[in-house]
Structure 1
Amino acid sequence: MPFLLPLLLLGSQAYDPEIEAVMNRKRKEAAAAAASSTPATAGGDGRIPVPDKYAAKFQACLDQAVEAPDKGIAFAQQWRIDGGSFYARNCMGFAYARAERWAPAIIAFEQGADEAERNGEMVQSGRLWAQAGNAALAGGDAAKARDDFDAALARGLPDGVEKGEVHLDRARALVALNDGKGARESLDIALEQVAQDPLAWLLSATLARRSGEMKLAQAHIARAVQLSPDDASVALEEGNIAVLSNHEDMARSAWQRAVELAPDSPAAKAAGDNLSRLPASPPAE
Structure 2
Amino acid sequence: MVGEDPSGALDYAQDALHAGVGWQARHCRALAQLETGDEESAATDLESLARLPAGRADGPTALDQAMLAREAADAWLALGQAARAQNCAEYGLTRQKQDQGLVIVLARALLAQNQIAHARDVLAGFFVDAPQPTSQGYVLLATAERRMGQVGPALEHVSKALALDPLNPEALLEHGIISEQQGHAAKARQDWQQVLELAPDSHEADLARQDLAVMAADPDAP
Q: TM-score range by the shorter chain?
A: 0.7 to 0.9
Select 1:144's aligned residue among 74, 84, 107: 84
Q: How do 1:72-221 and structure 2 match up within 5 A?
A: 72-115=9-52, 117-119=54-56, 121-155=61-95, 157=96, 159=98, 163-191=99-127, 192-193=129-130, 195-221=132-158
Whole-angstrom CA distance in 1 between matches of 2:133 and 2:63: 23
CA distance in 2, matches of 1:172, 1:86: 28
Distance 1:99 1:262, change over 3 A: closer
Using the TM superposition, name which of 269-278 and 136-145 deviates more.
269-278
Structure-2 residue corresponding to 1:230: 167
How many Å apart are 1:267 and its aligned residue? 4.8
Q: Is the alpha carbon distance of 1:111 and 1:76 closer, same or farther for their aligned partners in structure 2, counting shifts above 3 Å?
A: farther
Residue 34 of structure 2 aligns to which amino acid in structure 1? Answer: A
Q: 2: distance between equivalents of 1:208 and 1:234?
A: 14
**Percent of paired sites with the same residue:** 28
- 1:231 deviates by 2.9
**1:142 counterpart letter in structure 2:** A
Q: Which runs of 5+ in 2 are unaligned?
A: none
Distance in 1 between residues matched to 2:221 and 2:74, nearest whole Å: 43
Deviations 1:131-163 (A, max 9, x none): 2111111111111111111111112x163xxx1
In structure 2, how many angstroms separate the alpha carbons of the residues matched to 1:107 and 1:259? Answer: 35
Cα–Cα, structure 1 residues 135 and 107, in superposed 2: closer, same or farther, change >3 Å? same
Q: Any idea what SS the aligned residue of 1:212 has?
A: coil
Contact 1:93 1:104 in 2 (8 A): yes
Instruction: Answer yes or no: is the 8 Å Cα contact 2:173–2:191 preserved in 1.
Output: yes
**In 2, are the aligned partners of 1:263 and 1:269 still within 8 Å (CA)?**
no
Cα 1:132–1:111, aligned 2, differ >3 Å: closer, same or farther? same
Q: Residue type of the partner of 2:80?
A: G
For residues 11-44 of structure 1, the C-alpha deviation after alignment (integer angstroms, 9 at most, x for no partner) is xxxxxxxxxxxxxxxxxxxxxxxxxxxxxxxxxx
Task: Identify unmatched segments of 5+ residues in structure 1.
Answer: 1-62
Q: Which of the pair has the greater relative contact order for Cα pairs under 8 Å at 6+ separation? A: 1
Letter in structure 2 aligned against 1:234: A
Most deviating of 141-150 and 271-280? 271-280
Alignment length (residue pairs):
214
CA, structure 1 residues 190+99, in 2 after alignment: closer, same or farther (shift >3 Å)?
farther
With the length of structure 1 as denominator, give the TM-score of the two structures: 0.66
What secondary structure is seen at the aligned counterpart in 1 of 2:162? helix
Q: What is the alpha-carbon distance in structure 1 between the residues aligned to residue 35 and residue 169 of structure 2?
A: 26
Alpha-carbon spacing, 1:183–1:260, altered in 2? closer, same or farther (3 Å): same
What is the letter of the counterpart of residue 150 of structure 1? E
Q: Is the 8 A contact 1:256 1:271 kept in 2?
A: no
Contact 2:192 2:209 (8 Å CA) reproduced: no
Once superposed, what is the RMSD of the aligned Cα atoms? 2.5
**Amino acid of the residue matched to residue 172 of structure 1?**
R
